[in-house]
Chains A and B, each alone.
Chain A
C-alpha cells in the first residue's frame, strides 16, 4: 500500500501519479527504459563534480594561481548546462515514461501533465485532471500511423478521500487506454 498524499497539494499529486506510472505499467508487462534518466543524471552529476572541483581549487589556492583551470571549468560547466537544457527541451520533451513490451514488441512512450481544472474557466469543478499522452511504437514497423492517444483522467476517480492511490483502478484505467489505442491502430 502506498503512502497517502496531501490532497490539497498539486505537486505531491503529480509526483505520486508520475511515480505510480512505471510501477503500474510493470504489471502490464512493460519494462521501463531508464536511458534518458541515466543520461540526465550523468550530465547533472558531472556538472556537480565540476563545480565541486572549482570550489576546492578556490579554497585551496589563490585566485591567480588557478585562473586558467577556473576558466576551463566554468567553460565546461556552461557547455554542459546548455547540453542539459537542449536534452530537456528537444530530446526528452516532457517524456515521463518510456518502456518496452518484449512479448508484443511494442514500445510505449508516455507524456503526462496535471491540469488544474479551474484554469479552463470551469469554476464549478476544481478537480485536477491528469492528462496522459500515449504513443505506441511497433518495434518492427515504426512507420505506423494512428499510434497516439491523449486521455484525461479526473484524479478523484483513482484517489480515495484520504489521499490513497487506488492502484487497481489506475491499473485498469491504463490497461483500458492502451487497449483502446491498440484497437485504434488496427482500424
Chain B
C-alpha cells in the first residue's frame, strides 16, 4: 500500500467537506450573520414568500426600517422566523433599536411569539439578518429531508452512489 497515495485520495474528500464549510463560514462573516441563508418553513409571509423559498440575509445594517423583512430567533426555540417589521422604537440613551414584527399572512402581531413575555425584539441581539434576496422553491430539498425520515437516507444513498460511480 502506498501511504502517500491513500492520503492524497483522502485529502480530496477532505477538501470537498472543508471548502464547503469554510465558504459558508466566510459568507457568515461577510454578512455578519450566523446563518446568512435560510429556508422559509411556514406560510406566514405569503404571498411574499412561500414555503421552501431560500432567503439571503444581510446583517451589517445598524438599524432596521419599518417594512423590512427580517429573520429573528427566539430564545429557546431552534427555528428562525421570517416576518416583517411593523413598528420600530429608538432608545436615545442606550442607542438601541426595538422592533415589533408581524407575518404578512398572520392576523396579529408577534408579541405572543417572543421569549420571556417581551413585547419587542432588540435589533442587535435578536435579529439574524434582513432579507436582501430570495430564490423560490429550491429550499424544498431541506424541508423534505428534515420532515421525512426516509428522505435523509435516500439523499445520503444517492450521494454515496454518485461518488462510487463517478469519475475518479
Q: Which A positions have Cβ atoms within 8 angstroms of B? A: 9-11, 15, 19, 34, 37-38, 40-41, 44-45, 47-48, 50-52, 54-55, 58, 63, 67, 70-71, 73-74, 77-78, 81
Contacts and interface: CB of A to CB of B under 8 A. Distances in A.
B168 interface: yes
22 contacts: A9-B167, A10-B167, A19-B2, A37-B4, A37-B8, A38-B4, A40-B8, A41-B4, A41-B11, A45-B14, A50-B18, A51-B19, A52-B18, A54-B22, A58-B25, A70-B29, A71-B29, A74-B22, A74-B25, A74-B29, A77-B18, A77-B22
Given A11-B168, A41-B8, A81-B19, A70 B14 contact: no
Contacts of B135: none
Interface SS majority for chain B: helix
B7 interface: yes
Contacts of A38: 4
Nearest to B2: A19
B21 interface: yes
Given A11-B168, A19-B5, A34-B4, A51 B21 contact: yes
Interface residues of B, number: 20
B22 A51 contact: yes
Contacts of A73: 22, 25
Given A41-B4, A47-B14, A48-B14, 12 more contacts: A11-B167, A11-B168, A19-B2, A44-B15, A48-B15, A51-B18, A54-B21, A63-B28, A70-B28, A71-B29, A74-B29, A81-B19
A52 B28 CA distance: 17
A47 B15 CA distance: 8
A51 B17 contact: yes
Interface of B: 2, 4-5, 7-8, 11, 14-15, 17-19, 21-22, 25-26, 28-29, 34, 167-168
A128 to B, nearest CB: 14
Contacts of B8: 37, 40-41
Contacts of B29: 67, 70-71, 74
Nearest to B125: A64
Nearest to B17: A51
B11 A44 contact: yes
A51 B25 CA distance: 10
Contacts of B11: 40-41, 44-45, 48
Nearest to A77: B22
Contact of A74 (B5, B14, B26, B167): B26
Sort A-B residue pairs by CB-CB distance and give the 5 closest, nearest first. Answer: A51-B18, A63-B34, A48-B14, A44-B11, A11-B168
Given A11-B168, A58-B25, A74-B25, A48 B4 contact: no
Contacts of B168: 11, 15
